[in-house]
């Protein structure tokens, strides 16, 4: 909700069947945006190979949601102490 909308869009030809996709985002907070992107890519037949983030905010739940889905998660750095 950082930008005020709860919608994630993906063009219908953004990926092809079994195409490998890395989800990359600047910030990992709750994992909700990444999960939405994963579901959209998988709906189009893409294969998620992992998620990468610049900053991880572990106090907000961080990678737990994505790791529960079996997704490899990588972050450049973590920021604690909100």
- CA–CA separation, 23 vs 73, rounded Å? 10
Number of domains in the chain: 1
Phi/psi at 34 (nearest 5 deg)? -65, -40
Least confident piece of the model among 12-16, 19-23, 43-47:
12-16
Does residue 8 fall inside a structural domain?
no
Query: Would you say residue 42 lies in a domain?
Result: yes
Show the tokens assigned to 81: 């102490």
Provide the domain limits for residue 70. 20-78
Three-class secondary structure of residue 38 per DSSP: helix
Would you say residue 56 lies in a domain? yes
Is 5 a domain residue? Answer: no
Computed from CA positions of residues 64, 66, 71, 73, in that sequence, does the dihedral angle turn out positive or negative? negative
Query: Does the pTM exceed 0.75?
Result: yes
Tens of pLDDT, residue by residue over 34-72, are 999 999 999 999 999 999 999 999 988 768 889 898 999
């Amino acid at each position: 909700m950082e930008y005020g909308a709860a919608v994630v869009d993906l063009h219908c030809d953004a990926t092809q069947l079994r195409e490998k996709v890395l989800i990359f985002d600047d910030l990992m907070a709750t994992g909700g945006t990444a999960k939405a992107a994963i579901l959209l890519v998988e709906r189009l037949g893409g294969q998620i190979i992992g998620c990468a983030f610049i900053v991880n905010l572990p106090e907000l739940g961080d990678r737990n949601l994505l790791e529960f889905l079996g997704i490899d998660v990588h972050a450049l750095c973590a920021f604690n102490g909100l």
